[in-house]
């Protein structure tokens, strides 16, 4: 397979491979009134569930997914400023 790189865009300095993984949060046994959930977000692998009354539940993941490093989900060639020159 021949890769065509747009050389007019700059010199490639890095190759970025992106992989996909997952974390699973078990909320089945929590007493959550889903009709009163205001928002949900995840940061630093902690799931946060904010209720309408302002209380926030912080939940650690219960199962960590296994990352498959055999095939990346995205492969990019970028320049020193991370401008994308090629993507697969």
**Contact assessment for residue 57 and residue 42, using Cβ atoms and an 8 Å cutoff:** no
| Radius of gyration of the chain from its Cα atoms, rounded to whole angstroms | 20
* Cα distances (angstroms) measured from residue 72 to each of 39, 47, 57, 80: 31, 25, 33, 21
* Local confidence pLDDT in tens for the 88 residues of the chain: 566 776 677 788 899 999 988 889 999 999 999 999 999 999 999 999 999 999 999 999 888 778 888 889 999 898 888 888 888 8
**Contact assessment for residue 25 and residue 63, using Cβ atoms and an 8 Å cutoff:** no
**Contact assessment for residue 78 and residue 11, using Cβ atoms and an 8 Å cutoff:** no
Pairing state between β 14-18 and 74-78? antiparallel
């Amino acid at each position: 397979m021949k890769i065509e790189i747009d050389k007019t865009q700059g010199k490639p300095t890095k190759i970025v491979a992106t992989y996909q993984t997952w974390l699973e949060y078990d909320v089945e046994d929590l007493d959550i009134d889903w009709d009163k959930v205001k928002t949900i977000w995840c940061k630093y692998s902690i799931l946060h569930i904010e209720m309408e009354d302002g209380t926030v539940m912080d939940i650690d993941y219960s199962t960590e997914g296994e990352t498959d490093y055999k095939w990346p989900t995205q492969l990019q060639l970028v320049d020193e400023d991370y401008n994308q020159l090629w993507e697969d």
